[in-house]
Amino acid sequence: MKIIMLGAPGAGKGTQAKMIAEKYSIPHVSTGDIFRANIKNETPLGMEAKKYMDEGKLVPDELTVQILLDRVAKEDCANGYVLDGFPRTIPQAEVLNDALEKMGDKIDYAIDVAVPDENIVNRMSGRRACVTCGATYHIVHIPPKVENVCDKCGSNLILRDDDKPETVLNRLKIYHEQTQPLIEYYTAKGVLKTVDGTKDMKDVFADIVSILG
């Protein structure tokens, strides 16, 4: 079972990807993690990617797909995997599709965790992070025992720049321009399934399980 997770930043697709991986005993493959692992282990692909990253450039789609295919060729991916953070654009999806086709393979499901923009802005602007230990909270859903104080270490909690409404709106704009077209792409392939990401996390997961069977 090969699955791609789609959804805007803050929609909760990473959390759902981890839960799917655990339930179905398949790896949660995050492109960020693969890049870090390849660079840390100084693999040829990792060193190639690092050149671009050191210059502040985006890693080319072909190289990203190579690194991804190298990961999914490992033994633990024999029964499938959940892709999180890739593809982000139509060209990336096409490169991935062509590469999988050559291997006689394909994506089985593209799951879109759909959440309206205003919900995402409210959700992310309510996040708070500890300046010392990195623990995360939410002022509505997971509030600390004492306002703006970390339960674990007693340090101050802050609203990260990434979670400020203006930053979130900018990220959503990029998402709609670049990533939203993937919904049409995977609909045309007949593999797109949409779940309502505004529901409780457990209910979203239950909906995904009913799709995957």
Determine what percent of the chain is predicted with pLDDT higher than 90: 69
Average confidence (pLDDT) over 56-63: 86
Determine what percent of the chain is predicted with pLDDT higher than 70: 100
Marked catalytic residue, from 88, 164, 193, 199:
88
DSSP 75-137: GGGTT-EEEES---SHHHHHHHHHHHHHTT----EEEEEE--HHHHHHHHHTEEEETTT--EE
Rounded to 10°, the helix 117-125/165-174 angle is 140
Q: Residue 54: is its pLDDT beyond 90?
A: no
Q: Residue 147: is its pLDDT beyond 90?
A: yes
Average pLDDT, the chain: 92
Marked catalytic residue, from 2, 71, 123, 127:
127
Marked catalytic residue, from 106, 160, 173, 189:
160
This prediction has a pTM of: 0.82
Of residues 28 and 57, which shows the higher confidence score?
Answer: 28
Average confidence (pLDDT) over 121-132: 92
Distance CA 140, CA 123 (A): 9
Marked catalytic residue, from 13, 71, 123, 128:
13
Q: Residue 61: is its pLDDT beyond 90?
A: no
Marked catalytic residue, from 50, 171, 193, 199:
171
Average confidence (pLDDT) over 45-61: 88
For 15, half-sphere exposure in the C-beta direction (CA atoms, 13 angstrom radius) is: 13
Quote the pLDDT of residue 35. Answer: 87
Q: Residue 94: is its pLDDT beyond 90?
A: yes
Q: Which residues lie below 8 Å from residue 83, measured CB to CB, with a gap of 6+?
A: 2, 3, 4, 5, 29, 31, 68
Active site residue 123: no
Contact 184, 112 (CB under 8 A): no
Cα separation values, 80 from 4, 111, 130, 165, 170, Å:
11, 15, 36, 36, 34
Q: Residue 10: is its pLDDT beyond 90?
A: no
Average confidence (pLDDT) over 46-62: 88
Average confidence (pLDDT) over 77-88: 92
Q: 2-115+178-212 — its CATH code? A: 3.40.50.300
Model pLDDT for residues 155-177, shown as the tens digit of each residue: 999 999 888 999 999 989 988 98
